[in-house]
Structure 1
Amino acid sequence: MGEWWRGGVIYQVYPRSFQDSNGDGIGDLPGIIARLDHIASLGVDCIWLSPITRSPQADMGYDVSDYRDVDPLFGSLHDFDSLVAQAHARGIKVIMDQVVSHTSDLHPWFQESRLNRTNAKADWYVWADPLPDGSPPNNWPAVFGGRAWEWNPTRGQYYLHNFLASQPDLNFHNPDVQQAVLDIMRFWLERGIDGFRLDTVNYYFHDKKLRSNPPNKRDEHLPYAVNPYDMQEHKYSKSQPENVDFLRRVRSLLNEFPGATSVGEVGDSHKSVELMAEYTSGGDTLHMCYGFDFLGPQFTARHFRSRIEKFFTTGPDGWPCWSFSNHDVPRHITRWAEHGATAPELVRQSAALVLSLKGSVCLYQGEELGLPETDLLFEELTDPRGIRFWPEDKGRDGCRTPIPWDEGNAPNGFTTGTPWLPVKPAQSALNVAQQNADSHSSLAFYRTILAWRKNHPALFDGDIAFYDTAEPVLAFRRSHGNDTLVCVFNLSPVASAVTVSGGGSLEAVSQNAVLDGEQLALGANGYAFIAVSGSATTVTTKA
């Protein structure tokens, strides 16, 4: 099977919002099966399936109560097996979310652990005595607000929860917990899954001494953050050195299943790229990692270049998985709107950029349609983060609204019932049916550029070298054997001019680009892929 994942393109399916098959307003596995041909038409290599295991859905499935069964909301184990088989029949791999840094408080493990300090699962979660005044053992906050400690009167102790109080953290310092997690992964691998996306992979271990975190260095003119979590440097509550040894155990398990892969989610604002490199270096840890460096507001040549160079300097043999959107952040077409002349031009430029960086790529459902963030009312929200921090932080529901499939009125064929989140006019107008009929649509472009990319080994397994260009121009060379491409992006709605010495021919997938001899004119959000021979080409921006 080879290293299919290296430079591969993964398509994230958020099951709740992909396709509903039974009219309850929530997407499900049979619905995904019914839409597999759409995914196959894109030319992607793999599906990442967001959580489908049993859960009370306090955090939309990221609170697992049974790791070995499918939640009835989404279908059954039989549906899961069918999905994997039918994806494989179309040449598409399937990886699934594994949410193992924490469980639901309804999981049998926690239900036993909370009873007393002497039961068989007593040490499976992170328990701590109160300080003499009754307060929690340290200052760790929860991502979703408040303290990361919840009092349990039965044990007379606090338990750790990095997210909701109903999501207690597992104690990975306990070898029995590690083995239980590995056994769960084996269960799914034996059912035919092709690997895992590992949720919050740097949260597995905590500091054994439970030391308090130091304050975060921040702008003195910004005395507080919308979320107090961002006011700390999370030195002790996550990203601990013990994590690497456990990831080696995960890799050892995956190696028993040829072709199985892993992509870890690294959530750490201080050293995201460094952890991504550490967690994928050496060939005996994870295959890939992604962080949030390209999932924020930054859209500059310096930012993109610095993060990529930092990764490969820190871990030359590591491997990143880059993405611009996912289920946790506002869609990038909205985040970066001020940098685009028009939405369609920004859609195409963003796709061309992420698909030409060194690393693997993750596309989020609806990205191929150019969907913007959905503007929701407070009473329409379901996300606990958005409900808590509204309106400064509107949460994650805006990127999770259903896919509009058919022409006409909302919900555009997603469901025959009432969708769990609404389909608004801006999204409805970008439906799949209409774009299928338009050869100039965003959907048509994604299919074209993904097919084009497959013919250029330089783009999925080649070296990368950046040119010293001034903002807003980002330029780099990708090379693999005799395949060399110069990639130049004008990250701006204002035209730019660039000199490309050494000759070459402009690839047809370029946008708003004219190459006249050595002079490259890039219009608004213009970009150019230039096929060259050798490595003597230089790119310079005009003063």
Structure 2
Amino acid sequence: MGSVNNASLCVGKTPWWKEAVFYQVYPASFKDSNNDGWGDIPGLIAKIDYLHDLGVDCVWLSPMFESPQKDMGYDISDYQAVYSRYGTLSDVDNLIAACHVRGMKLILDLVVNHTSDQHPWFQESRSSKTNPKRDWYMWKPARYDANGNRIPPTNWRSYFAGPTWTWDELTQEYYLHLYDNSQPDLNWENEECRKAIYNEAMRFWLDRGVDGFRIDTVNKYSKRTDFPDAPVTMPGETDQPAAEMWCNGPRIHEFIREMNEQVLAPYNAVSVGELSNTPLPSQVLPYVSAAAKELDMVFEFSTIRLGTGGPFHGKYLYREFPLSELKAYVATWQQWLEGTDGWHTVFCENHDNGRAVSRFGDDSTVESWEASAKTIALWQATLTGTIFLYQGQEIGMVNMPKEWRIEQEYKDVESLNFYREAKAFGDAERIRKTEEGLRILARDHSRIPMQWDASPNAGFTSAGVTPWMRVHDGFKDLNVEKQEGDDESILGFYKKILKLRKEYSGLFVHGAFRPSLQEDETLFVYVKDDQGSEESGVQADKRRKALVVMNFSGQPAILREHNLNVAATLGCKQGEERLLVTTLKKKDTPRMEAGVLEPWESRMYLNF
């Protein structure tokens, strides 16, 4: 198969975003500068040197636009204004400047599948059936059952539980919303609506110096406009899963090509799309093929969704999964680009999921938490594609304590809707399983305040201030300040491994992924092959290779018992392999045995 390195398919040098480290900031929870309990943009600016020192090249700022905050800013009421608790337009300008002066870039969240129901566009649209903006949203008349009862236009279920349709008394029609009923979907079929999106939500910010966008729900703009009912896959439920009615719809590639041609390409703006419910590589490639001229890269969610019960009815009914299942997904999405002109992303955390160390690692003891967080760092930093980190990941932030009551501490609209639905269902076992699932998977876990130091409120805000979400009980032991001066901390390890990722970019950013021991439920093993060396004429047998060996268990792993020979796997003579990285601390290395990995220990070897 051909090389994964797509640089030769680009005009000139490799695009900056392929080898960049992106870092997502959730503004409400990052740093509060004015003691109102909410993080803000001046707080982010105050910490920009921290991100620069970490090795971040581009900050992705989650929605900070004017919003009623029903869905934490993903319900926008004004694309050109900043939510007052986050700051002002001048603050955004200052953030852009702070990034650029350090050689960093800034991208914003582009949320244009829907708006808030408080957006002036929707206020006009719902004002009358003859309003010029009526067709900017998706309105349909009611249906009636055999008994004459009014029912929604389709039986589609929303992502946040309940129907996708809400009745509007004023104009006597339903409007469509894939998410909360306060988030009506825009009608991308309407050309004037698309033009307004490009002008108000995109060019406005690009003209101010923003470098691109993370594009929310990017494959949901084109719906089935014949509006058929979804097949009944959940008997006994009124509303049925219907992602096939709006994901990857009939005009979606036309719409995204237009967005790229009219806005993204002229500004040379980087684009990364959120691509849900698209599980096949053959479905993803058309979005990211360089020849297609649509998006630079996308987030595909098969790996990060492990443990969930699906996106609809059973999402928070947690299921255990074996390591082999995780490895199979990683292998699929690491190898699918070979021989293509596409590109991909590397991530295991974001604002919509539980913390990685609490899901893929082990946070049950201090030792296992620290070791598994470093193993996750090594795993992510050695995968092919553009890496995205989420705030707090670099210090190993964990899920909210299991003792916290969902009714009191959980704030997310999705979490609470699913919990209310489980309670309304009335089955004690379903309630118990939903609670268990929320304590592992809920979006709330990633949204508690960033833990900066051991002072009151973890340094997120001042003592005596009540933060918008409760600070984690363990912040005095888990915070930036405690790790910052320690090269052997999780933070120190992230700094080290991100530097190595750039130093060996041919191996880790662009290299071919070759999995090994895929059925093994203890070891996660793969070889990275620097196929990028082909372009410099290096012979195949002289290319650099790296072997990544990770113990994803709480027990020691003896390599020979897993039929793993490091030198043979790297294709070099015994003793010629070079240990480049271990997650062990220096005090533990004297007892390190070549053929034994400690619990959650990981290593990376080079062939020369």
TM-score (norm 1): 0.90
Is 1:135 the counterpart of 2:151? The answer is: yes
Q: Distance in 2 between matches of 1:527 and 1:448?
A: 14
1:106-505 to 2 correspondences below 5 Å? 106-133=118-145, 134-183=150-199, 184-216=201-233, 232-252=241-261, 253-258=263-268, 260-268=269-277, 271=279, 273-283=281-291, 284-295=293-304, 296-297=306-307, 298=321, 300-309=323-332, 312-313=335-336, 316-337=340-361, 342-375=368-401, 376-377=404-405, 378-390=407-419, 392=435, 394=438, 395-416=442-463, 417-457=465-505, 458-472=507-521, 473-478=523-528, 479=530, 480-481=532-533, 482-494=543-555, 495-497=557-559, 498-500=564-566, 501=568, 502-503=571-572, 504-505=576-577
Change (3 A) 1:12 1:380: same
Question: What residue in structure 1 maps to residue 604 of structure 2?
Answer: 529
**1 or 2, which has the higher helix percentage?**
2
Secondary structure at the residue paired with 1:197? Answer: strand
Secondary structure at the residue paired with 1:397? Answer: helix
Question: Out of 92, 115, 128, which is 2:104 matched to?
Answer: 92
Shift of 1:520: 4.3
1:2-151 to 2 correspondences below 5 Å? 2-133=14-145, 134-151=150-167
Change (3 A) 1:532 1:36: same
Shift of 1:285: 1.1
**8 Å Cα contact 2:331-2:515 kept in structure 1:** no
What amino acid is aligned across from residue 596 of structure 2 in structure 1? A
Question: What residue in structure 2 maps to residue 220 of structure 1?
Answer: none
Secondary structure at the residue paired with 2:289? Answer: helix
C-alpha distance after superposition, 1:6-58 (max 9, x if no partner) = 14221000000000111100000000000111111110211110001110111
Secondary structure at the residue paired with 2:124? Answer: helix
Shift of 1:153: 1.9
C-alpha distance after superposition, 1:462-518 (max 9, x if no partner) = 22222354413333222131443222223222314121202343334223599xxx9
What amino acid is aligned across from residue 327 of structure 2 in structure 1? F
Q: Distance in 2 between matches of 1:338 and 1:18?
A: 24
**8 Å Cα contact 1:113-1:120 kept in structure 2:** yes
Secondary structure at the residue paired with 2:206? Answer: helix
The 10-residue stretch of structure 1 (474-483 or 337-346) with the greater mean CA deviation from structure 2: 337-346
Q: Distance in 2 between matches of 1:499 and 1:470?
A: 17
Q: Distance in 1 between matches of 2:101 and 2:236?
A: 52
C-alpha distance after superposition, 1:273-312 (max 9, x if no partner) = 5543331124411101012222233562443344443564
Change (3 A) 1:7 1:304: farther
C-alpha distance after superposition, 1:182-224 (max 9, x if no partner) = 222111111111110011112212101011222459xxxxx89
TM-score (norm 2): 0.80
Secondary structure at the residue paired with 2:371? Answer: helix
Shift of 1:72: 1.0
**8 Å Cα contact 1:103-1:167 kept in structure 2:** yes
Secondary structure at the residue paired with 1:435? Answer: helix
Q: Distance in 2 between matches of 1:452 and 1:405?
A: 25
Shift of 1:436: 1.3
Change (3 A) 1:294 1:309: closer
5+ residue gaps in structure 2? Answer: 1-12, 308-320, 420-433, 534-542
Identity of aligned residues (%): 35
Secondary structure at the residue paired with 2:548? Answer: strand
Secondary structure at the residue paired with 1:420? Answer: coil
C-alpha distance after superposition, 1:217-257 (max 9, x if no partner) = 9xxxxx899xx98x625211332131112111222222212
Change (3 A) 1:238 1:531: same
Q: Distance in 2 between matches of 1:339 and 1:398?
A: 14
Q: Distance in 2 between matches of 1:240 and 1:122?
A: 22
Change (3 A) 1:161 1:210: same
Q: Distance in 2 between matches of 1:434 and 1:80?
A: 30
Q: Distance in 2 between matches of 1:339 and 1:303?
A: 18
Shift of 1:380: 2.4
Change (3 A) 1:330 1:310: closer
What amino acid is aligned across from residue 565 of structure 2 in structure 1? T
Secondary structure at the residue paired with 2:81? Answer: strand
What amino acid is aligned across from residue 341 of structure 2 in structure 1? D
| Structural RMSD (CA) | 2.6
**8 Å Cα contact 1:289-1:320 kept in structure 2:** yes
Secondary structure at the residue paired with 1:47? Answer: strand
What amino acid is aligned across from residue 330 of structure 1 in structure 2? G
**8 Å Cα contact 1:138-1:210 kept in structure 2:** yes
**8 Å Cα contact 2:25-2:59 kept in structure 1:** yes
Question: What residue in structure 1 maps to residue 425 of structure 2?
Answer: none
Secondary structure at the residue paired with 1:201? Answer: coil
Q: Distance in 2 between matches of 1:24 and 1:167?
A: 27
C-alpha distance after superposition, 1:311-350 (max 9, x if no partner) = 6437832212121111111111111345987011110011
Moved over 6 A (4+): none
**8 Å Cα contact 2:363-2:369 kept in structure 1:** no
Change (3 A) 1:433 1:30: same
The 10-residue stretch of structure 1 (112-121 or 58-67) with the greater mean CA deviation from structure 2: 112-121
Q: Distance in 2 between matches of 1:372 and 1:120?
A: 49
What amino acid is aligned across from residue 327 of structure 1 in structure 2? H
Change (3 A) 1:459 1:73: same
The 10-residue stretch of structure 1 (411-420 or 106-115) with the greater mean CA deviation from structure 2: 411-420
**8 Å Cα contact 2:347-2:388 kept in structure 1:** yes
